[in-house]
Structures are given as C-alpha cells and as structure tokens.
Amino acid sequence: MSHKFWYLTKMSLFKKIKSKWFLGVNIIFFLAIVILVNMDGIVKFFGGDFENQQTIIILDETKEVANSFTSFLKSNAYTSGENERYEIKITSKEEDEVKKTLEKEDALLIVFQEDASNGFKVKMISQNKINALDYQIFVQAINQVKSNYLLAKMNVDSKFLESLSAPVVIDREVLSDKQDVDEGMETIMSTVFPTIILPFFMLTIFLVQMIGADICEEKSTRSMEVIISNVSAKVHFASKIVAANLFVLIQGGLLLLFVALSFVVRHFFMGGSALSSLADTFGGVLNSLSSTGFLDKIWYFLPLLFLLMVASFILYSLLAGILASVTTNMEDFQHIQAPIMIVSVIGYYLAIMAAMFEGSVFIHILSYVPFLSSLLSPALFVLGEVSLFDMVLSILFTVILIFVFIRYGMRIYKAGILNYSNEKVWTRLFKTVKNKDI
Amino acid sequence: MLKVENIYKNYGSVKALRGLSFECQEGEIFGLLGENGAGKTTTFRIIMGLVGANQGTVTLDGMPIDYSKTDQIGFVTEERSLLTKLTVEEQAQFYGALKGMNEQEVDKALTFWLKRFEIEEYRYRKIKELSKGNQQKIQFLCAVMNHPKLLILDEPFTGLDPINVKLLKDAIYDLKKEGCMIIFSSHQMEYIEEFCEKLVILVKGKPILKGSLKEVKQQYGIKRVEVVGDVTSSDFQNIKGVEKVDALQDKFILHITGEEVVPRIFKAIKEKKIRKFEAMEPTLNEIFIEKVGEAK
C-alpha cells in the first residue's frame, strides 16, 4: 500500500508540475520578480532626463559659501549608481557671461549675493524648469548653508556648529511588561510583508486550487471509482495532502530561486557584482533588523514561523480536500472554496493593517484562530504585539484542528468522493456531514 | 468463487438492495439485470468494497474482499473512468500501478492489448483525443491487463460499433477460458442472453428472478408459436389457449397461454401446407419486461 501511496503522490505532484499552467505561472513570476528587482535599471534602459547629470554653476559673490554649499549638496544629494547626480562648477565669471552659456548647456546657475539684513540672498537661473525634488534639495542646502554662515559670522566655533547639526541621540525605554515593543519594528513590516505574508498567501491559494482541481478531475471523469476500488480513501486523501504540500514547498523554493536569479540578471543588466547587490540587500535588511533588536529573537522566530506555516498549509489542504470531495465538477468547487478564500483574504488584509491598529485586542485574538494565525501571528510578532508564547499557542490550536479534521473530515471525504447526487453542492455537503452511516 | 450472500443496503430511507444472493464460479459469466436504479451499481460497489453493506457478506475464494484482494479484480464502470488529459500509456501506467503492476509489466500488457484492439497508433495520444469507442477499449484493457480473477463489466459495450463489440466479446470469451469470473451488466438483453450462463434480475433492489438462463426460460415457458404456410387467421380462432394472432403475409405469430397449447395448434393445421412451425422460446427481453412489470 505504501508503494501505491507514493505512486499516487508522485502522480498528483508531477501532473501539476508538468502542466502548462505551472510553466506559465512560473514564467510570469520570474518575469515579475526580475522586473521588480531591476525596476530602476529598466526605467533607465528606456532613457529619460534622469540619465543626465544636472550641472550646477555656482557664482559666489560672498566668496564664503561656495565650498560649504558644494560639500552639503554632495553629502545629501541623491546619487544613482556610480554617477553623482550633480556636477558642480564654481565660476568667477560675470553673471551675464554665464547666462549666455546656459542657452547651450542645460545647467543651473546659482548666484550667492551679499545681503546686509539676511547674510546673503540667492538667484537661481536656468534655461528650463528644474525638477521639483532637485529644487527642494537646493533650497534645503541653501538654508542650511545660510544658518552656518550667519553663526560663523557670530564667531561660533566649528565644534559647536558640528554639535548643532548632529542628530539627537534618543534612548528609548518602555516600562510596560511588553519589553519587545519598539516603534522601529513597523519599518520591518515593509520587509516582512513582501517576504513572508504575500508569498504565503499566494501559496495558500495555489494549494487550495491544486487539491480542488485534482480531486474534481478524478471525480468528474469517474476515475475516482477505479482509484478507490484499488486504494483506500484514507491513502488517497493522504497522497493528495502530501502532494499539495510538497508542491507549495517546491513553488516556494522556486520563488526564492527567482529572487536570486533576478539579482544575477541585475548584475548583467546594470553592471556591478550580483553578489554584492544581494549582500547589500540582505545587509540592509539585517541592519534594520539589528537596529530594532529583532535579530536577538530571530533564532526562535524562524523555526516557529516555519512550523506555523507548514501546519497551516496542512490545515488548508485538509479543508480544501474535504470540501472538494463532495463536489462533482470545478464549478461546484469554485462555490465551495469561497469561504476558504474569504478567510485567507481577511487574514491577508488584517496582516497588512496590523501595524495601523496597534494594541487591537480583536486582531490579537484573531491571531490565535487557525487559518488566520499563519498570516497574522508573524506580522504581530514582528510588531511586538504578540509574544513567543502567543505564537506557540497559535501553532497548538492549528495542530489541534488538524487532528479534528483528520478524525471527522476523513469520514466526510470517504463518503463524499463517491457521491454523485444531483443535489446542490452545499446540500450534498451538509447531508454528508449529517449522515450517521459515515 | 465469488459468493454474494443475502446483501442488504440502505441509503437513508432508500432501500438499495434487499436480500441479494448469487455465486459466480471460475470461468463463468454472470448477468446482473435491472432497470436504472435497480441496485446494479450498488452491488458492484459493495463487491469492490467501495461501500459497506448493512447486512450480508461478499467473499472471493472464501475470504472477504479487502484492499489485499482488489489487485485481482478488474472493474469497467458504466461511464468512462479515464483521466482525459493523460496519454493512453500514462493512463495504463497509472491504473497498472494501482493494481500493483510494475512499469515493464504494464508496458508488455499494453503492447499486447493495443495490438489486439488494433489501436497501436494511439499509445501516445491523449485520452480526450480518442473516440468514445476507443476510450471504451482503453478502459477495458486497463481493467484486464493484470489478468484479473474477477472482472466486473458495467455496460461494457456502450458506444461501440458492431466491429468493436466483436473485438471486446472475443476478449471476454478468452478471459472466460482463462478461468476469469465475470459479472456482467447490460441493458441490452441480447448480450446477456449471448454471454451469461446465470443471471439475476433486480427490481428496486430485490432479486425477482434468479438462476441459469435455461432455467429462467423454462420457468417462463413457451408463450409464442410461429407458423409460416398456407393458413389464415381463422384457422387459429377456435383453438383453446390462443390469445392473440399477429399476421404478416403468410407468417403468423400466435400468443399462447402455455406450452400445452402447442400440440393443439399443430393438430389444427397439420393438414395444411406448412413451411415452418416453431414453438418459440421467450427472449430475455420479454421475460425482463414481464417480470419487471409484475414486480411493479
């Protein structure tokens, strides 16, 4: 029987993996991930003004602020790739003379003029309109330079000036028992969402669809009678669950591979080292995790997350399989899977909104609910809303429900897979559940 | 030997089977007759262990049928039980594996049966690309490629043209010669009449007629006499026991009350110029219609 079990598992898995759907979906995934990772390069590839460096010509009539302005602009200005965004030239020519050259080159002339009441004033001259972001950067730089210029005029020493502009060190302390509360965690959600919640949600949809389509196909073609006459319903069901869960693990692995490949593409497309790009990205994530103290918890968070996800995949697949057993065609399954989809979509949106409703008791309680917990619990844990104990409880509730589904759902499955009555699918389901003979 | 003993099966308030019993010996073909919903499919499902009976037992060679025995059973369902997206070879490998066969065994058996059914060129075609008749052949070969001890055929000739019916019939006869027990169900009585040594007629789950074909026909008795010759309808009018006369030119079909009427008819027309006189055995179709009508 174990040979037949593995054969059925292999058959279900290969049927899915060899399908055109699988190939098509993964090509789309690969392209989407490559595009997302290389979006900046793709945008540049098609050309535009962002390719050109903005030339800035500084005419400093005060003779005191040009260098300060230049260094401020260089340290704060946005740079793309290896090229600096601004090319800065300091001129000693007359204003009118420089103005004439502006007609030929698309440069910006910034003239610093003495002003008795305000220290200095500035004229910005260009042939065309300049980018709004650039304008803001220039204004910010000019104002900063002006403050420093005036303070210097008042004989304030450079050390004091440095202290004045340095950021304030904030020592954050939380007195409640939730020691892991950290406002910075919300920034991590921007990492958790695309790397954990979104892929998990997509894989859940795939899982439910795979089980449904597989069982429906065998039922609608009446192959089920031949199959069940050779292997027990229990073996058949188990093979579907194992195949579907292996499938999502393979699909998850492929998504990771696509991310790695997209960095390789980035390497060839944009130059530079792909590995260093990858290292930079992971380094950035690790830095943000480290700065919030989350790295200290990651050693138990990741195994728990894996357990919760695997348990949730098994739970989703059990429910999808039980429901699919009473259907006779794909249309039936579309009807009957709607509640699963609604629940997972609710979990998905609650996970997104978790950061917005900090301290919500309702969301906290929902994070224990199987089906929702796989989406909510990791998000709330990262936000510091739930503890290690809460996450373990979520896993425990999911595992308990898995045993309930195996015990009672198996009976429904056994009766459902050979039920071809013409009743509406929901009626058929409820009758099967109520049937004392099963 | 397959032994079905006193089977009862209820689906809620619906009594699907009521006291069905029969036996099928090795090398025997057994017919299961009944209208739609009479309980034929339920009987097959109980034999295959797909559903349990409320009462009664089913044994194969004295042992209950469980998943250790199902590798010895072939099952051709009434509707096509094929995964239409698979190729013929993939389908055969799939069902072969479920019967405990390895890849080489399936390959060898598939080659043999495809050749026998003259469809070798379809080996790598998808099932959905085949005609209904060819799909039925594939379903049949999938059921018999493991040389089953027991073969269940639920309407096996549906959708087949006469040439393909003959191909399948020959295959069934060969399996019978090999000693295979065959349970056969069909709405087409001529097939049952041609194949089955023994049969049971089910009406609403209850067996109303059972036994060998010869016994069943004897129980029914002779109810018709065919006469061809220089006679007229009036020659049969005064014979006691003749209920009705159908005339077609010089051919007359006499509907009679029983076998004892035959000598009386013969006596009444023996002086006439008669080319044919036959006391006709009832067809299974006639028996079926009459018995089902009575039971209702």
* Range of weakest confidence among A56-65, A323-332, A426-435: A426-435
Task: Provide the pLDDT for residue B211.
Answer: 87
Statement to judge: residues A201 and A327 lie in one domain: yes
Among the three residues A102, A136, A165, which one is the final residue of a domain in this structure?
A165
At A82, the pLDDT band (50, 70, 90 cuts) reads very low
B73 CA: distance to closest CA in chain A (Å): 9
* Number of folded domains that form chain A: 2
Among the three residues A99, A134, A165, which one is the final residue of a domain in this structure?
A165
Give percent of chain A above pLDDT 90.
25
Residues of A in contact with B77 (CB under 8 A): 222, 225-226
Structural domain includes residue B41: yes
Q: Report the residue from A11, A225, A229 with minimal CB separation from B94.
A: A11
At A390, the pLDDT band (50, 70, 90 cuts) reads very high
Residues 6+ away with beta carbon under 8 Å from A4: A230, A231, A235, B97, B98, B100
Among the three residues A98, A132, A165, which one is the final residue of a domain in this structure?
A165
As a whole number, mean pLDDT of residues A20-37 equals 90
Statement to judge: residues B153 and B9 lie in one domain: yes
* Range of weakest confidence among A186-195, A261-270, B182-191: A186-195
Structural domain includes residue A179: no
Statement to judge: residues A329 and A414 lie in one domain: yes
Statement to judge: residues B119 and B261 lie in one domain: no
Q: Closest chain B residue to A15 measured between Cα atoms?
A: B86
Residue A290 corresponds to which tokens in the numbers above?
A: 């480290």
Structural domain includes residue B294: no
* Range of weakest confidence among A184-193, B177-186, B246-255: A184-193
Considering only residues A239 and B215, tell me which one the structure prediction assigns the higher pLDDT: A239
Q: Are A377 and A353 in contact (CB under 8 A)?
A: no
Statement to judge: residues B171 and B226 lie in one domain: no
What are the pLDDT digits (tens) for B140-155? 999 999 999 999 999 8
Residues 6+ away with beta carbon under 8 Å from A269: A38, A41, A45
CATH code, domain carrying B15: 3.40.50.300
* Range of weakest confidence among A64-73, A293-302, B126-135: A293-302
Query: Does the structure show a pLDDT above 70 at B222?
Result: yes
Task: Provide the pLDDT for residue B283.
Answer: 82
Give the range of the structural domain holding residue A276, as residue numbers without chain letter: 2-37+185-434
Residues of B in contact with A8 (CB under 8 A): 98
Give percent of chain A above pLDDT 70.
82
Contact B80 A221 (CB under 8 A): yes
Q: Which amino acid is at A164?
A: L
Structural domain includes residue B293: no
Statement to judge: residues B168 and B272 lie in one domain: no
What are the pLDDT digits (tens) for B34-53? 888 888 889 998 998 888 89
CA atoms of A183 and A185, how far apart (whole Å) = 5
As a whole number, mean pLDDT of residues A74-97 equals 71
As a whole number, mean pLDDT of residues B129-144 equals 92
Q: What is the mean pLDDT of chain A?
A: 82
User: B73-76 and B150-154 as β-strands: parallel, antiparallel, unpaired?
Assistant: parallel
- Residue A344, number of CB atoms within 10 A of its CB: 21
CATH code, domain carrying A120: 3.40.190
B155: left (phi over 0), alpha (psi -120 to 50) or beta: left
Statement to judge: residues B132 and B54 lie in one domain: yes
Statement to judge: residues A273 and A403 lie in one domain: yes
A284 CA: distance to closest CA in chain B (Å): 48
Statement to judge: residues A394 and A270 lie in one domain: yes
Statement to judge: residues A250 and A120 lie in one domain: no
At B119, the pLDDT band (50, 70, 90 cuts) reads very high
Structural domain includes residue A176: no
* Range of weakest confidence among A347-356, A396-405, B232-241: A347-356
CATH code, domain carrying B236: 3.30.70.100
Structural domain includes residue B285: no
Query: Does the structure show a pLDDT above 50 at B289?
Result: yes
Question: Exposed e or buried b for every residue in A26-52, given b needs 16+ CB within 10 A?
Answer: beebbeebbeebbeeeeebeeeeeeee
Statement to judge: residues B71 and B153 lie in one domain: yes
Query: Does the structure show a pLDDT above 70 at B242?
Result: yes
Task: Provide the pLDDT for residue A148.
Answer: 81
Q: Which amino acid is at B143?
A: A
At B82, the pLDDT band (50, 70, 90 cuts) reads very high
- For chain A, the straight-line distance linking the first and the last C-alpha, in angstroms and rounded, comes to 23
Residues of B in contact with A228 (CB under 8 A): 50
CA atoms of B262 and B66, how far apart (whole Å) = 53
Among the three residues B165, B183, B218, which one is the final residue of a domain in this structure?
B218
Q: Closest chain B residue to A421 measured between Cα atoms?
A: B11
Query: Does the structure show a pLDDT above 90 at A167?
Result: no
Task: Provide the pLDDT for residue A231.
Answer: 92
Residues 6+ away with beta carbon under 8 Å from B23: B1, B2, B3, B4
Statement to judge: residues B238 and B202 lie in one domain: no
Structural domain includes residue A42: no
Structural domain includes residue A172: no
Q: Closest chain A residue to B54 measured between Cα atoms?
A: A437
Task: Provide the pLDDT for residue A61.
Answer: 87
As a whole number, mean pLDDT of residues A48-66 equals 78
Task: Provide the pLDDT for residue B139.
Answer: 94
Structural domain includes residue A399: yes
A234, A240, A241, A242 alpha-carbon torsion, rounded to 10°? 100
Give the range of the structural domain holding residue B272, as residue numbers without chain letter: 222-280
Q: Which amino acid is at A191?
A: T
Query: Does the structure show a pLDDT above 50 at A438?
Result: no
Task: Indicate the burial class of A78 (C-beta count within 10 angstroms; 0-12, 13-18, 19 or more).
Answer: exposed
Q: Report the residue from A3, A8, A225 with minimal CB separation from B81.
A: A225
Q: DSSP secondary-structure letter at A103?
A: T
Residue A287 corresponds to which tokens in the numbers above?
A: 């830095």
What are the pLDDT digits (tens) for A269-290? 766 555 565 566 666 666 666 6
Task: Provide the pLDDT for residue A316.
Answer: 94
A279 shares contact with chain B (CB less than 8 Å):
no
pTM value?
0.75
Statement to judge: residues A223 and A111 lie in one domain: no
Residues of A in contact with B9 (CB under 8 A): none
Query: Does the structure show a pLDDT above 90 at B104?
Result: yes
Statement to judge: residues B183 and B234 lie in one domain: no
A1 shares contact with chain B (CB less than 8 Å):
yes
What are the pLDDT digits (tens) for A247-256? 999 999 999 8
What are the pLDDT digits (tens) for A365-387? 999 999 999 888 988 888 778 88
Contact A229 B75 (CB under 8 A): yes
Q: Are A161 and A148 in contact (CB under 8 A)?
A: yes
What are the pLDDT digits (tens) for A211-262? 998 999 898 888 998 999 899 999 999 999 999 999 999 999 999 899 888 8
* Range of weakest confidence among A1-5, A325-329, A361-365: A1-5
What are the pLDDT digits (tens) for A95-147? 888 888 887 777 888 999 888 788 888 998 888 888 787 888 888 888 888 88
Q: Which of A39, A25, A36, A12 is nearest to A254 (CA)?
A: A25
Contact B67 A231 (CB under 8 A): yes
Q: Closest chain B residue to A417 measured between Cα atoms?
A: B50
Residue with tokens 């549906």: B158
Structural domain includes residue A174: no
Structural domain includes residue A422: yes
Statement to judge: residues A215 and A152 lie in one domain: no
